[in-house]
Chain A
């Protein structure tokens, strides 16, 4: 098995990667992006992947989402639905209204009109955008667009959410609020989240477990469990302490590349 295959409730792992390798290009041009990565995400776990540039974080998410195939190793994802993927940009369709953006995955799953209307309303309320269904994406702020993108992803009814620096382009204030929102939705819907970021504080604010990746090729060099109670504040001392520790390890990794 080399492709992402949905496995029916094998219980212990929501996402399981074993020996995942990804090579881009061929021959002398070949770049080893991921090198024998093993990672198991338990159902309901919130895992943050942090790493400096070139650690293959986005590659990893693409592989789990099934948008790309690994060169070697196996990826297994629990549940019937494919994982939902969110990007740094909202990737909303500009030709559709906010409501229609959220509706499209439901339409593609074959829900009827009435079901779709109810679900869209419910999803937009979930992200506090109940009144904005008829707006166009460009009429919203960056943070609102990311919330629409989250609603669109939730419309897949997938237990696994993959997030590729989803708040990277937002200002600190908006990001703070979206952390609260994501945490609330994650707890309410009992999701499993694999969240990529280069922002160590963000990782310490959100994660149950932080996984630190090395750069070129990407390997796991460190893991930290964050057991501070939720909801956490991003400026809480325990969050800061964990962030400082992870930052030190990342810094060592970056220095190693300079030598």
Chain B
């Protein structure tokens, strides 16, 4: 009898782990890192090559004079020279600091605002549509007011960067909280997460993908506002990427102008890649990612 019970137990355990092994077989293999990197890189490289080719073709066509539209062979040496100048690095420093401080403030404000509006019915009724309205407002339209309020100063730029980015962040939070599956809320409540703990352990992590999407969009708005701000609010004592772009136009240094534009583009791409990586990391953790991505 005793040996029977043991035998029965082993078969049962055997059956259950056998079934488990069958069901999850082939789920965990991933392509190698180098292979994945290559698959992500080569289409991008091809696209860049193609863009340069089209640029060169337009220059060859003689549509504009070379001093108005220089070709890649004139711009790239200039870009190389530009990134080695003192002005580039100090301008980059100013711009990066403005972007960092402005975006960080916008994120803090957006998170607080979004959570408050998401968790309070009266605030939602009062501010929900206002946030969306603010988001649709082109941030450059804030500059006249900002300049009147703060003159041509750091504060004017900061003001517009924060106003440009915070609504997107708040909207991301709002969206994220609204779309937390009710089942997860119920499960969380059932296992003892109530009040603040429900937000901390269930709602906030469940909303994270939408919040990251909000951050990404907020960053795009902050970056645009900052570039507009640096073109409009040129502070003579402080050089910045945007100010240098403005100077290049005033001095008709087209090569330098395009070099700076390429710099801005690359900085934007780098930030985008960082957000993309965060987004993918979350989705991989959640199992929402196709294995080939």
Q: Please list the residues of chain B having a beta carbon within 8 angstroms of any beta carbon in chain A.
A: 12-13, 15-17, 19-20, 23-24, 27-28, 183-184, 186-193, 197, 201-202, 205-206, 208, 282, 285-288
Complex CA gap A126/B183 in Å reads 25
Q: A92-B187, A94-B286, A181-B16 are in contact. List 4 more A-B contacts (CB 8 A).
A: A87-B183, A89-B183, A174-B23, A180-B12
Smallest CB gap from B22: residue in A: A141
Smallest CB gap from B188: residue in A: A93
Contact A108:B197 (CB < 8 A) given known A128-B17, A144-B23:
yes
Complex CA gap A137/B197 in Å reads 22
Complex CA gap A91/B193 in Å reads 14
Counting chain A CB atoms within 10 Å of each CB, the highest count among B12, B190, B288 belongs to B190
B21 → chain A, closest Cβ, in Å? 10
Once the chains bind, are A104 and B16 in contact (CB under 8 Å)?
no
Q: Is A116 an interface residue (CB 8 A)?
A: no
A166-197 vs B, CB cutoff 8 Å, 1 = contact: the mask equals 00000001100100110000000000000000
Contact A105:B191 (CB < 8 A) given known A67-B186, A95-B206, A139-B28:
yes
A130-145 vs B, CB cutoff 8 Å, 1 = contact: the mask equals 0000001111111110
A160 → chain B, closest Cβ, in Å? 12
Pull 10 A–B residue pairs with CB atoms less than 8 Å apart, ordered by A: A65-B190, A67-B186, A84-B190, A85-B190, A95-B285, A104-B193, A129-B20, A140-B20, A153-B190, A156-B191
B205: which of A87, A95, A129, A144 is its contact (CB, 8 Å)? A95
Complex CA gap A91/B188 in Å reads 9
A107-150 vs B, CB cutoff 8 Å, 1 = contact: the mask equals 01100000000000000000011000000111111111000000
Q: Please list the residues of chain A having a beta carbon within 8 angstroms of any beta carbon in chain B.
A: 62, 65, 67, 82, 84-85, 87, 89, 91-96, 104-105, 108-109, 128-129, 136-144, 152-153, 155-156, 173-174, 177, 180-181
Smallest CB gap from B20: residue in A: A144
Once the chains bind, are B191 and A177 in contact (CB under 8 Å)?
no
Complex CA gap A108/B191 in Å reads 8
Once the chains bind, are A91 and B24 in contact (CB under 8 Å)?
no
Q: Which residues of B contact A153 (CB under 8 A)?
A: 190-191
Contact A87:B192 (CB < 8 A) given known A95-B206, A141-B23, A141-B24:
no
Complex CA gap A229/B24 in Å reads 34
Q: Which residues of B contact A82 (CB under 8 A)?
A: 190, 192
Complex CA gap A180/B12 in Å reads 9
Once the chains bind, are B184 and A93 in contact (CB under 8 Å)?
yes
Contact A143:B23 (CB < 8 A) given known A91-B184, A105-B191:
yes
Once the chains bind, are A138 and B192 in contact (CB under 8 Å)?
no
Smallest CB gap from A132: residue in B: B20
Complex CA gap A92/B287 in Å reads 12
Q: Which residues of B contact A85 (CB under 8 A)?
A: 186-187, 190
Top 9 nearest A-B pairs (CB, nearest first) are A138-B287, A141-B23, A91-B187, A105-B191, A108-B192, A94-B286, A85-B190, A95-B205, A91-B183
Smallest CB gap from A142: residue in B: B23
